[in-house]
Amino acid sequence: MEKQGFNPFAMAQAQFDNIADELGLDAATKDLLRNPMREYHFNIPIRMDDGTVKVFRGFRVQHNDARGPGKGGIRFHPQETIDTVRALSMWMTWKCAVVDIPLGGSKGGVVCDPHHLSMREQEQICRVWVRQLAKNVGPISDVPAPDVMTSAQHMLWMLDEFEAIHGSKLPGFITGKPVGMGGSLGRTEATGYGVIFTVREALKSLGIRPEDTTASVQGFGNVAQYAIRLYEQLGGKVKCVSCWDQEDQASYSFKKDDGIEFDKLLEITDRFGGIDKGKAKELGYEILGADAWLEQDVDILIPAALENQINAGNVDKIHRNVKIVAEGANGPTTPDADKVLEERKIFVIPDFLANAGGVTCSYFEQVQCNMNYFWEKDEVLGKLDLKMTSAFNSVMELSLKRKLFMRDAAYHIAIGRVAQACHDRGWV
Indicate which single residue of 172, 219, 236, 350 sits in contact with ligand NAD (rule: CB under 6 A).
219
Task: Note whether 210 and 234 are within 8 A (CB).
Answer: yes
Catalytic residue among 71, 107, 255, 387: 107
Residues 297, 93: Cα–Cα separation, whole Å: 35
Q: Does 328 bind ligand NAD (CB under 6 A)?
A: yes
DSSP secondary structure, 25-75, as one string = --HHHHHHHTS-SEEEEEEEEEE-TTS-EEEEEEEEEEEE-SSSSEEEEEE
CA quadruple 387, 390, 393, 398: dihedral sign: negative
3-state SS, residue 102 = coil
Q: Give the binding range for ligand NAD (CB under 6 A) out of 46-54, 136-144, 221-229, 375-383.
A: 221-229
Q: Which of residues 290-319 bind ligand NAD (CB under 6 A)?
A: 290, 304-306
Minimum CB–partner distance for residue 353 and ligand NAD (Å): 11
Choices 4-12, 52-60, 205-213, 322-330; region in contact with ligand NAD by CB under 6 A = 322-330
106 is an interface residue for ligand NAD by CB under 6 A:
no
202 vs 292 by CB, closer to ligand NAD: 292
Total interface residues for ligand NAD by CB under 6 A? 23
Does 358 help bind ligand NAD (rule: CB under 6 A)? Answer: yes
Identity of the residue, 29 or 93, whose beta carbon is nearer to ligand NAD in the bound complex: 93
CB-nearer residue toward ligand NAD: 46 or 185: 185
Q: Which stretch binds ligand NAD (CB under 6 A): 130-138, 228-236, 241-249, 403-411?
A: 241-249
Stretch that binds ligand NAD, among 155-163, 316-324, 326-334, 417-425 (CB under 6 A): 326-334
273 touching ligand NAD, by CB under 6 A: yes
User: DSSP H helical segments within 167-238, as ranges?
Assistant: 187-206, 222-233
Long-range contacts of 206-214 (CB under 8 A, 24+ apart): 206/323, 206/324, 206/347, 208/299, 208/323, 209/235, 210/234, 210/235, 210/236, 211/235, 211/236, 213/237, 213/298, 213/299, 213/300, 214/238, 214/239, 214/259, 214/296, 214/297, 214/298, 214/299, 214/300
345 is catalytic: no
Are 9 and 84 within 8 A, CB to CB?
yes
Task: Please tell me whether residue 244 binds ligand NAD under the rule CB under 6 A.
Answer: yes
Binding site for ligand NAD (CB under 6 A): 191, 218-224, 242-244, 251, 273-274, 290, 304-306, 328-330, 355, 358
Which residues participate in catalysis according to the annotation? 107
